Structure 1
Amino acid sequence: MTRTKVALVGIGKIALDQHVPALAASPDWELAATISRKGEVPGIPAHTDFAAFLAERPDVPVVSLCLPPVPRFAHAEAALLAGRHVMLEKPPGATLAEVHELQALARDRGLTLYATWHSRMAHAVAPAKAWLAERTVQGAHITWREDVRKWHPGQDWVFEPGGMGVFDPGINALSILTEILPRPVHLTGARLEFPENRQTPIAAQLTFSGNVTADFDWRQQGPQTWDIEVRTDRGELALRMGGNVLEIDGKPAAGEATIMGEYPALYARMAELVRAGESEVDLAPMVHVADALTLGRRVAVEPFDF
């Protein structure tokens, strides 16, 4: 089977850790080009100018964007205008309005736009959704605590406007929550902790309708915590390890403690969408973040530096 050529834009940590290995193992895709100011992938033609790439490489029909959220819109728009299908790393943009604009542009031009949520591809998410579908949810709590120095070393953009701060990882939890709950919930309040020297929060405590709460923190050292616990009328469910391990009433039920399958699954889904001529853009997780930044009470905390 002939593999489709794809270009990877933004060769940083997430691209090298996840996208490149997923593409190398994929039966659907051939990594044919990279576009980055500094980063490269050995053996792959490297470009530094995106406009020049679009003009010089009409043989590459798909672009996967791994850039930070703020510059992503301009690249996605240019790619769609050039007739390329576009895959977006999470979150799909810096604002909801710009993603709606990309949706319309892709639709009008008959192109695929895929807003990915990698945590939804975790091993235990689908069985958790199926288990909850037959039950009444009485409440839930998310604990999503990790070390920003480990996952975003020296990346100051995460603390700049549009970088989302602790919601950069927290939106992964929200992507799982919005996938598995039988009925949607909405945010009712938030407490946001902003370092005195930063523009985005380093921690957040959220409350939702339906007795759902969340605790996000980017200051955890040692073991990282990515848990979602759900109470129902017929038992309790817990998703551990970022959605990769399922427990029912405290006993292991499904999944495995590895996240390596998430990005291969994303690229397999992108291949399906391109073949079908369809798009997939679910903005529910991003809506919760926008609501938290609207309703949240801001609390100043100690300065943060890498």
Structure 2
Amino acid sequence: MAWKIALAGIGKIARDQHVPSIAASRDFDLAATVTRHEGVDGVENHADIEAMLAARPDIEVVSLCLPPVPRFEYAAAAIKAGRHVMLEKPPGATLAECHALEAMARNAGVSIYATWHSREAASVEAARNWLADKRLKSLKITWLEDVRRWHPGQEWIWEPGGLGVFDPGINALSILTRILPTPVHLAGATLKFPENRQTPIAADLAFRHPDGAEVSAVFDWRKEGDQFWNIEAETDRGTMELSDGGANLSIDGAMVEASDVALEGEYPNLYMRMAEILRTGGIDMDLSPMVHVADAFLLGKREIVAPFHE
């Protein structure tokens, strides 16, 4: 029997990934949406979360796809109403509110899942397995994309809580925290803020590895032309490259895992994982990628760069 699910926040990622993933799932039926704008054809829509929760006590799960800042109130309302909650990345605007949501879910006896879609990219697990028994010498993340292409007109990303370049950068950090056998922590950062914006457009990060490996990341939202989402690692027994956001894996220059479609399988896998959590009554609130982002804002040197205009 499929769970009835409501989808709150019907923007680009919801239409491109969540709606088709739910439609293809054997575990979920999309029973309602929550948005003040255009909903999904053929699906009942409500203007706010409280109205949906009151009207549809039969809906067991709420998947939240709206921006991070308003997400806490929606999640808290759903948990208070006894519904299970699925959170688009990042799971909240602050670490404290994410911890609060987990505590609320435990007290209410419902499941909550902080999703990290990039961990479900086709070659991430193969990379994790390859690195597991090797000594890391260096690892570099290069995450370069064009904000105008991927986030057109989304002003919320430039406001406090919107994360700026860390909105895609946290995807890279979710992979990093999945594939490394030994955790790292941030040692320093430089954050580049357009003079007319509240969040960074680029960032350089340096991490401290317990065994002395050099671990770094470069995020930039100003990349025109070809886009790059790569992770390169050198070990005592060869080199590895995860490219295209984790879709493709090369070992010592030879391709060993490949996927032709960006995001292929990532969101369907998230809903499969949510179904597993529901069946076991579990909670999955791994916040390790978000810790690195928070540390970057704490440690980061601030540089002002040219203004950004859409």
Q: 1:49 corresponds to which residue?
A: 48
Aligned partners of 2:143, 2:117: CA distance in 1, in Å?
A: 15
Which residue is equivalent to 1:302? 306
- Matched residue, 2:72: 73
Aligned AA for 1:281? Answer: M
Where do 1:103-252 residues align within 5 Å? 103-210=102-209, 211-252=214-255
Q: Distance in 2 between matches of 1:257 and 1:141?
A: 23
Give the match for residue 278 of structure 1: 282
Maintained 8 Å contact 1:12/1:39: no
Using the TM superposition, give the Cα deviation of residue 83 of structure 1 relative to its aligned residue in structure 2, in angstroms: 0.2
Report the Cα distance in structure 2 between the residues aligned to 1:40 and 1:289, rounded to whole angstroms: 32
Residues 140 and 231, structure 2, Cα contact 8 Å, conserved in 1: yes
Identify the residue that residue 83 of structure 1 maps to in structure 2. Answer: 82
User: For residues 277 and 258 of structure 2, what CA distance do their matches in structure 1 show?
Assistant: 26
Cα deviation 1:76-110 (Å, max 9, x = unaligned): 00000000000000000000000000000111111
Q: Which amino acid aligns with 2:286?
A: D
How far residue 260 of structure 1 moved from its aligned partner, in angstroms, is 2.1
8 Å CA contact retained: 2:113, 2:274: yes
Q: Deviations over 1:265-286 (max 9, x none)?
A: 0000000000110010110000
Distance (Å, rounded) in 2 between the aligned partners of 1:254 and 1:260: 13
Letter matched to residue 121 of structure 2: A
Q: Which amino acid aligns with 1:284?
A: S
Cα offset, 1:39, TM superposition: 2.5
**Separation in structure 1 between the aligned mates of residue 160 and residue 292 of structure 2, nearest angstrom:** 17
Q: Work out the CA distance in 2 between the residues paired with 1:188 and 1:110.
A: 38
CA contact (8 A) 1:241 1:257 kept: no
> In the alignment, what sits opposite 2:27?
28
Does the 8 Å CA contact 1:171/1:285 hold for their aligned counterparts?
Answer: yes
What one-letter code is carried by the residue in structure 1 that aligns with 2:240?
A: L
RMSD of equivalent CA atoms: 0.7
Distance 1:111 1:139 in 2: 41
1:59, 1:88 → 2: CA distance? 20
The amino acid across from 1:84 in the alignment is: R
Tell me the TM-score normalised to structure 1 length.
0.99
Counterpart in the other structure of 1:6 = 5
Once superposed, which parts of structure 1, at least 4 consecutive aligned residues long, lie more than 4 Å away? none
**Is 1:230–1:236's contact at 8 Å kept on the other side of the alignment?**
yes
The whole-number CA distance in structure 2 between the counterparts of 1:298 and 1:170 is: 17
CA contact (8 A) 2:122 2:264 kept: no
Aligned residues: 305
User: Structure 2: which amino acid aligns with 1:224?
Assistant: Q
Distance 2:258 2:126 in 1: 9
- Asked if 1 retains the 8 angstrom alpha-carbon contact of 2:142 and 2:230, the reply is yes
Q: Find the aligned partners of 2:126 and 2:282 in 1 and give their Cα distance.
A: 25
One-letter amino acid of the structure 2 residue matched with residue 35 of structure 1 = V
1:17 matched to which residue of 2?
16
Distance of 2:38 and 2:87 partners within structure 1: 19
Deviation at 1:305, TM superposition (A): 1.4
Question: Residue in 2 aligned with 1:292?
Answer: 296
2:53–2:78 Cα contact (<8 Å) kept: yes
Distance 1:176 1:67 in 2: 22
SS of residue in 2 equivalent to 1:207:
strand
CA distance in 1 between counterparts of 2:64 and 2:48 reads 14
Residue 301 of structure 1, CA deviation: 0.4
Question: How far apart, in 1, do the equivalents of 2:60 and 2:187 lie?
Answer: 42
Q: Shift in Å at residue 257 of structure 1?
A: 2.8
Q: Give ranges in structure 2 of 5+ residues lacking alignment.
A: none
Instruction: Output the amino acid matched with 2:250.
Output: E
TM-score (norm 2): 0.97
SS at 2:290 equivalent? helix
Task: Determine if contact 1:122/1:243 at 8 Å carries over to the other structure.
Answer: yes
